[in-house]
Amino acid sequence: MASELVRALWVLKPRFVTHIDEDAIEAIRNFYDVQFAQAPQGEYSVLDICSSWISHYPEKLKAKRVAITGMVEQELAANKQATEFAVADLNKMPKLPYGDSEFDFVTNVVSVDYLIKPRDVFAEMHRVLKPGGVAIMSFSNRCFFTKAINMWVQNMSRSPADEGVGGA
């Protein structure tokens, strides 16, 4: 119980850090740039979930609406590209605080592995996306064993080929 409390407090403490290195950030930013360029400039809406003080969006982002949601209010308030933010713990309540079909893009950077109800959250992403909208999930090779859900860490010693995934 005490360790749960320590963990909860640690998770909620604002951390103005980068979770991936500069090359990874640049790769994500460039990928977003290519994707966002396909939308009408100045007209599209993006939502970053499990967000923080940075969303890794291109510097010259031409979105009309940049919504972000995450757990730590101070981090979200410091995000300079966001036009709005909402605090939401998607493990307590796997519901995105937005209406249906509001966004052209939903993004999530290196945080899917913290979600204990990923199917519900993905259904929510689908709900808030406009028809034909795009969800972009980014993953890294860094893993915090104490924070990632069990499904992500239980078979870490086995290769994908052992699971019949990606093997020849």
Ligand X SMILES: C[S@@+](CC[C@H](N)C(=O)[O-])C[C@H]1O[C@@H](n2cnc3c(N)ncnc32)[C@H](O)[C@@H]1O
d(CA 55, CA 58): 9
Q: Using the rule CB under 6 A, is 26 a contact of ligand X?
A: no
Q: Using the rule CB under 6 A, is 24 a contact of ligand X?
A: no
Q: Looking at beta carbons only, is 29 or 64 nearer to ligand X?
A: 29
Q: Using the rule CB under 6 A, is 128 a contact of ligand X?
A: no
Q: Using the rule CB under 6 A, is 111 a contact of ligand X?
A: yes
Identity at 65, one-letter amino acid code: R
Using the rule CB under 6 A, give the single segment among 1-9, 35-43, 57-65, 86-94 that binds ligand X: 86-94
Q: Which tokens go with 92?
A: 């307590």
d(CA 17, CA 139): 17
Using CB atoms within 10 A of its CB, is residue 158 exposed (0-12), middle (13-18) or buried (19+)?
A: exposed
Q: Using the rule CB under 6 A, is 79 a contact of ligand X?
A: no
Q: Which tokens go with 144?
A: 């915090």
Q: Using the rule CB under 6 A, is 89 a contact of ligand X?
A: yes
Which residues of the shown chain bind ligand X in the complex (CB under 6 A)? 19, 50-52, 54, 70-72, 89-91, 109-111, 114
